[in-house]
Structures are given as structure tokens and as C-alpha cells.
Structure 1
Amino acid sequence: NDVNVAVKADQGDAGRVPACSVRSDDVLNFCALYEKGPVVLALFAPRSQECTEQLDQLDDAARRHPEVAFAAVSIRGKLDDVRDLVRDRRWSFPVGYDDDGVLANAYGVVVCPQLNFVRQGGSVQDTALGAIAPRALEAKIDALAAAGPTGATGTTGG
């Protein structure tokens, strides 16, 4: 249940081992996602209707954009409620759980949802604070998919 944001070993509350080194089928490893390609990461509150509706839109977008990975992390809330929500909504992307707010603090989450559009390699291209309209979401995903990997020549970030 704990979120690991450590960049090196023994960083106290951040984690015992570097986060990117933790690999398992039952672990949502954000590094593993952005190593393969661009990622849309949604940070959300499970009891917010606006957040869950935005994640429904993300799920629809994920089906249209197989070249982009999608993932979400529930910020606090009750784990059983999050599991029920994921099951009931039938989201196709992985959903993690931040029970103590470590990831929310690392990303500076202040509004729900927060959508981070991350290029392959890990640099954040864009961030949307609060729910955005479907067309705006689609435009941001299209721009992310077209941007290329972090550090690639001839590309620009945003």
C-alpha cells in the first residue's frame, strides 16, 4: 500500500530502495511505464465524482491510444473503496493507492484530478489541474504521443 518515491537507498519515509528498482506484477511502477513510452498519470480522490468521471474519460482515451500508457493513483481514501470503484467502473489501466499522501506531496497535488502528461523517459510535458473537457484531454494526449522521448532531437516539451 505504501508509495515509494525514493531515488536512492534508505531515504526514510520516501522508501528503503530506489522506487524504479521495485518491479513486480502487483506493483504499479511508474518508471516501468515511462521507459516504454509516454504516460498519462492521474492522481485522484476516490470520493470525488468529478475525478471518477475524468478517469472514465481517460479509460475511453486509453482504448483509442494504445501508444500511450495510462495509470492512476488514488490519493488517500479507503483501500476497499478504491478497489470497489475500480471494479465498478471497469477501468482498463492500473490503479495504485497512496494511503499516506507521499505521492500527492511529491507531485504537489492540490486539486482533483491532477493529470500529468509524461514523455517517454520521464519528463513531465504538461499538467492539468482539475477536470478538463474531452476535446482538451484528447488534444493533450495527441500532443504527448507526438512529442517523442525526453531528450529526442527535434521535439519540444510544453
Structure 2
Amino acid sequence: MPDDPFADLGGQRERTRAESIGDELAERDRVDPEEPPRRPEPARPRNRYAWAVGIGALMVIVAVLLLNAVPNRGKAVLGPKQGSPLPAFAAPLASGALVGDANLCQRTPCPDGAGKVPACAVASEQVLNSCKLRGGPAVLTFVVTQGTDCEPQVDRVERMRRAFPDVSFAVVLSGLEHDEAVQLVRRRRWTLPVGLDRDGAVTNLYGIGVCPTTVFSGGDGKVAAVTLRNLTEQQLRDRVRRLAQ
């Protein structure tokens, strides 16, 4: 029998240690209550004007960097002007044995480094001479090998060109030394004339800034059109057909 027969009936009894601690904490909360948790401050709206200005400044910086990166140092990068004669140059052919830079002299007296005689006066089976291309309709494809994948455009020209025997087709290949260019031409089985522009001077002369670029010239030797992108074989045929009319 229990010592306290009235314990289960809720009579008075001594307080436990846990109950005493609970009472002390409750009294402390009443006298010195904790501050309620603060709501997080709403995010401040961004300054859209400052954001737009920042993006605009970044675009200007990128444009300046790209402009300084192209070889023509700020000149037009859209190719030669429509209606103008094909600029004169004489470049070593990949199929020949000549090694060196292209002749860019337009007329006498020739500037230093452009060539000893005007490019149109250079007569050799080992050079690609743009002056000869002026004698009839011509298609001149510019290809830069470094950091690009433009060679397939020449593959398409190679496949369709034989359907137009009265039109001259040629390539200006920039960025490779002679031996490297020879290997590329053999590997891709190009048989059309490929002029070597190892220092990019011809590309600069023509104002080329996009790869591939195709220059179409009419029977008068003047630029008829310039395209700054890849062309399908059918697009090439359509353009050359109009050129030959």
C-alpha cells in the first residue's frame, strides 16, 4: 500500500526540480521577453538604368576589341565595293614552287613592301593574278584557316564549278605556309587555283573580315556581289548563272 493514499487524487505535494526550473524560465520571459524575430527586408529593386548602361559599355568594349583584331585595322570588313574593279594582286599558287608574299602593287611607283612592279604586270603560271580574272565572270572565295571551318565552302565550289566553263573560279587561302597549304589542297582534292596569302595582305586589301567570303565579278571585271556566309551548291549555281548572263 502506498505511503500517501491520496497522491492519485491530486492533493498537495512537493514541487519537483523540473517544475521549479520551468517556473523560473516563465517568470524571466515575462520580465525580460525576447524580441520577436524580424522579417527579412524585401530585396531592393535593381537600378535598371545602371544595368543597361553596364551592358552598353560592355558591348562597346567588345566591339573595339573585335575591330582591333581584324587585319584591316578599322577599314570596312564587308569586302570590296560593288561596282569597283577587282583590286590587283599576284599571289603564289599552292600548285607552284614559288614561296613568298603576294604582290599588292596597284600602280607605279610601288610602295615599299608591295612589290617591285605592279601586280598586273606579273606574268607567271605559278601565281594567281586577279588582273586575269577581270577578263570575264569570276568567283573568288576567301578562306582563313585559323580558328575557322571555311574549307567546306571551297569543297562546294569545287563540285559545281565545272558546270560553268566560261566562269573563272579561284581561292585566296590565308594563314598557312606553303607546305601546309599544299597538304590541305591535296587532302581536300581541290583542283581550282589556290593563291596563298600567308601574311593576310590580300585579305586585308579586299577588306575581308568574315570567313568564308565570296566575291563575284562580272564580265567587265567589276565586283557584282559579295556574300559573307556559306553558300549551298544550289545558291552558288543560281548566283553564277546570273553572273554569266
Q: What interval of TM-score do these two structures reach, taking the shorter chain for normalisation?
A: 0.7 to 0.9
Higher relative contact order (CA 8 A, sep 6+): 1
2:132 paired with 1:32: yes
**Partner in structure 2 of residue 52 of structure 1:** 151
**Partner in structure 1 of residue 211 of structure 2:** 112
2:21 paired with 1:21: no
For 1:78 and 1:47, the matched residues in 2 are separated by 12
For 2:227 and 2:141, the matched residues in 1 are separated by 9
Contact 2:148–2:211, Cα closer than 8 Å, also in 1: no
**Partner in structure 2 of residue 89 of structure 1:** 188
Could you list the per-position Cα deviations for residues 69-91 of structure 1 after superposition, in whole angstroms to 9, with x for gaps in the alignment? 10001112232221111112221
* SS in structure 1 of the partner of residue 196 of structure 2: strand
Contact 2:155–2:190, Cα closer than 8 Å, also in 1: yes
| Alignment gaps of 5+ in structure 1 | 147-158
2:227 paired with 1:128: yes
Could you list the per-position Cα deviations for residues 111-131 of structure 1 after superposition, in whole angstroms to 9, with x for gaps in the alignment? 111110011232000111121
The CA deviation at 1:49 is 6.5
2:202 paired with 1:103: yes
**Partner in structure 1 of residue 107 of structure 2:** 8
Work out the number of aligned pairs and report it.
Answer: 145
Contact 1:115–1:128, Cα closer than 8 Å, also in 2: yes
Contact 1:46–1:82, Cα closer than 8 Å, also in 2: no
* SS in structure 1 of the partner of residue 153 of structure 2: helix
- Give the aligned residue type for 2:168: A
Report the TM-score when normalising by structure 2. Answer: 0.56
Contact 1:73–1:98, Cα closer than 8 Å, also in 2: yes
For 2:155 and 2:147, the matched residues in 1 are separated by 13
Q: Give the 4+ runs in structure 1 shifted more than 4 A.
A: none
Could you list the per-position Cα deviations for residues 76-113 of structure 1 after superposition, in whole angstroms to 9, with x for gaps in the alignment? 22322211111122212110111111111111111111
Report the TM-score when normalising by structure 1. Answer: 0.84
Compute the RMSD of aligned alpha carbons: 1.6
The CA deviation at 1:48 is 6.3
- Give the aligned residue type for 2:103: N
Larger Rg: 2
Contact 2:178–2:196, Cα closer than 8 Å, also in 1: yes
For 1:68 and 1:48, the matched residues in 2 are separated by 30
| Alignment gaps of 5+ in structure 2 | 1-99
